[in-house]
Structure 1
Amino acid sequence: MKISVLMPTYNDAKYIQRSIKTVMDQTYENWELIIVNDGSTDETETTIRSINDERIKYHYQENKGQLNALLNASSFFDGDIVLLFHSDDELANVNVFTNIVETFNRNPIIDGVYADYIIIDKDGNQSGVITKPNMIDEDEIIRKVFYHKGDNLIGDTFIVKREIFEQFILPNYIYDNTIYYVDYQNFRILNLLKIDPYYKYRVFSENYIHSEIGKFEVANGCFRTIYKLLSNHFETGPLFVFSNLFLFKVFRKLKLYKYSKISKGKSIHKELALKIYSLWEKELESKGYPEVTIKQNKKILHSIESIGQYDKALYIYEEDINSIKSLFYGKDTREFYKSYISNTIHKIYKDILETDYDHIIVKNVEHKKIIENILHFYSLFYEVKVERA
């Protein structure tokens, strides 16, 4: 059984040699390490090329973000088990791969494994543990994801079978920047088994997640996670829990969501959608999220309020659609942010986010699909109608 380690990296020359060494030190030797350098400007490439091991495959791409680097890496692996390994983190010990393979062999029906994270600082000193649920109850984890507003409660460092990578990791995590282990149409989750801690997660002030663009990327993915549930007619309650932020936090802190019910309705639960995104709005400014994130959340709320209304159309013209060179997906969040901040974003993306309308009109079905992709990126619920001939 071969393990494929996917390692996207960007300006991690300070840590990547140590990260790679923890892979090379593994007692289990049937592995490959696919490293995609996402346009680093430091000594990352020199450091990687100084390491001589034929199991390490190195590729370079222009800076497009971690998820695009992962997509690139997915073209080159041929293992039976696939895992994500960040280039500033470490494996916990030399037996990690052995334990992973033995776990899959003993439990052939599982889709993947997960574990608690060992926290280390910038110098590699252990400073604590991030604990994860000991067992994953299918109904409870879906409710918990919703009540935690799209947070990934297990973490993104997946370890899954190859077929699960293709079926879930690629469409959910890489393309859409959403939680990988959720089946959003059926409100089900993957069959994951918890193992002993295998991963040392480095936490320090320079973490990408603390930057404005990092905050935007996280929020954009969380918005879309909830959007995908609601778009598939997710329902839960009681609704009074969402009445104010204090009550919501108490309910969540006491884990009372365990006793709530989930079901699938026949349409979007408009009141539930309004309440959850309204609670989000109250937190974004206080936590210092960038202006575009706050603007996106307000637009999501407006799109929910506009469901079933047809008073003010936004016309998207053929020449504008034909001038779109490429669409943004969840994997392109960093590129979108840079384009938006620099005011080089395409007119359609700007109009959809910033103009006043309650539905959108296009010329044909092909154009409708393009606009629906853009709405999906923004997590907007506006209806797109095809203009009558």
Structure 2
Amino acid sequence: MASYMRKNGKSPNYIKKSVKSILAQSYTNWELFVTGDNYENEREFSSLFTSISSSKLFLHNLPEAGERDNLTGIELWQSGGASAMNDALQRAEQHHSTCGSKCNIYVAHLDDDDIWSVEHLSELLSVFTRYPSVVFTWTKGYFCHSEGNPYPPTMVPQDTVNNWLKPFGGNILHSSYAWNMTVFRGFRYRRLWDFPPNFQDSKTTDYDLFEVVRAYITAKKLDYYHSNRATIEHLVEMGNSCTKNGSLWYPE
């Protein structure tokens, strides 16, 4: 499983918690591709990942920032650090470029202010193992909206493939999903300047990508799965923190 996280120069305290949650995973056969969005303190950037074995870590800092606050004229929460995330995806795909159709390489994402529970990767992998036809899966999680209040976790029918009837877009936290690398090789987050001039839908980066994924899954008649197991926390949004609205492991 090739995990990746993007870095936009947030507080090192956030990043340290994210890294700790990776190291605590019960599933250990992972590689971590990290891309900094021109993280300004190069020495600090590198030091945040010294606890991860060099054989599992692929670290890169972009020479120029892609999205940083209002650099592109769009709020950072909407752009989602697309340049950094795309770079990490591309490097992971290049690293596994010889992987053919029989390979089982899965991509999971962890944002720099999110935290995985110890069973997050195990839960994702269990879905792919139990349901070999599934190419895209995500878990339930706890996360805040901009006022600092928690969204209620979404419940779906358990143990049923294709168990989400609504559009994916606004209902997936991008640190909670995993996809089959072979199936979605080349899929990228659209940056503000990648949208056509007459584009009328939401330009929020992760919403847009998941809608593209949903359309592809529908057109190709592929299978997906949403787990009711809560394995992700995003408890700070736009500087506002919220209380956990459920029981979940949390590294201090």
User: TM-score, structure 1 length as denominator?
Assistant: 0.43
Tell me whether 1:131 sits opposite 2:164 in the alignment.
no
Aligned pair 1:106/2:130, yes or no? yes
Q: Which residue of 2 aligns with 1:51?
A: 51
Q: Is the 8 A contact 1:132 1:154 kept in 2?
A: no
Kept after mapping to 2: 8 A contact 1:116/1:129:
no
Confirm or deny: 8 A CA contact 2:110 2:174 kept in the other structure: no
% identical equivalent positions: 15
Q: How far did residue 21 of structure 1 move? A: 1.2
Q: How many residues align?
A: 191
CA 1:192/1:186 → structure 2, altered by over 3 Å: closer, same or farther? closer
Q: CA deviation at 1:173?
A: 8.8
CA contact (8 A) 1:82 1:160 kept: yes
The 2-side partners of 1:186 and 1:22 are apart by: 33
3-state SS of 1:18 partner: helix
Can you give the 5+ residue segments of structure 1 that lack an aligned partner in the other structure?
Answer: 122-126, 146-150, 208-389
Q: Tell me the residue number matched to 1:10.
A: 8
Alignment TM-score, normalising by the size of structure 2 = 0.63
User: Given the alignment, which residue of 194, 210, 219 partners 2:226?
Assistant: 194
Corresponding position of 1:69:
84
One-letter code aligned to 2:126: E
For 1:14 and 1:114, how far apart are their aligned partners in 2? 26
In structure 2, relative to structure 1, the CA distance for the partners of 1:18 and 1:192 (3 Å cut) is: same
Q: What secondary structure is seen at the aligned counterpart in 2 of 1:166?
A: coil
AA aligned to 2:66 is: K
Higher relative CO (Cα under 8 Å, sequence separation at least 6) belongs to 2
Unaligned runs of 5+ in 2: 68-80, 97-103, 196-204, 241-252
Secondary structure of 1:68's partner?
helix
Do 2:19 and 2:49's aligned partners in 1 also have CA atoms closer than 8 Å? no
Q: Answer whether contact 1:8 1:87 (CA < 8 A) is retained.
A: yes
Deviations 1:279-306 (A, max 9, x none): xxxxxxxxxxxxxxxxxxxxxxxxxxxx
Q: Between Structure 1 and Structure 2, which shows a larger proportion of helix residues?
A: 1
- Change in CA separation of 1:52 and 1:85 when aligned onto 2, cut-off 3 Å: closer
Deviations 1:200-221 (A, max 9, x none): 11324427xxxxxxxxxxxxxx
Distance 2:33 2:143 in 1: 24
Q: In 1, are the aligned partners of 2:134 and 2:223 still within 8 Å (CA)?
A: yes
Q: Which amino acid aligns with 1:156?
A: H
Corresponding residue SS for 1:27: coil
Query: Does the 8 Å CA contact 2:82/2:189 hold for their aligned counterparts?
Result: no
Specify whether residues 26 and 14 from structure 1 end up closer, same or farther in structure 2 by C-alpha distance, changes over 3 A only: same
Deviation, 1:72, is 1.0
**Equivalent pair of 2:144/2:235 in contact (CA under 8 Å):** yes
Which amino acid is 1:87 matched to? D
Q: Quick one: structure 1 residues 184 and 104, their matched pair in 2 at CA, closer, same or farther if it must change by over 3 Å? A: closer
Aligned counterpart for 1:84 among listed residues 105, 109, 130:
109
* C-alpha distance in structure 2 between counterparts of 1:192 and 1:185, whole Å: 8
RMSD: 3.4
Q: Which runs of 4+ in 1 moved over 4 A?
A: 135-138, 171-176, 184-190
2:178 to 131, 143, 159: 159
Separation in structure 2 between the aligned mates of residue 137 and residue 29 of structure 1, nearest angstrom: 28
- Matches of residues 1-389 of structure 1 in structure 2 within 5 Å? 3-12=1-10, 13-41=12-40, 44-54=44-54, 55-61=56-62, 62-65=64-67, 66-77=81-92, 78=96, 80-92=105-117, 94-119=118-143, 128=150, 130-132=152-154, 134-135=156-157, 140-142=165-167, 152-157=170-175, 158-166=177-185, 169-170=187-188, 177=205, 178-180=208-210, 181-183=213-215, 191-195=223-227, 196-206=229-239
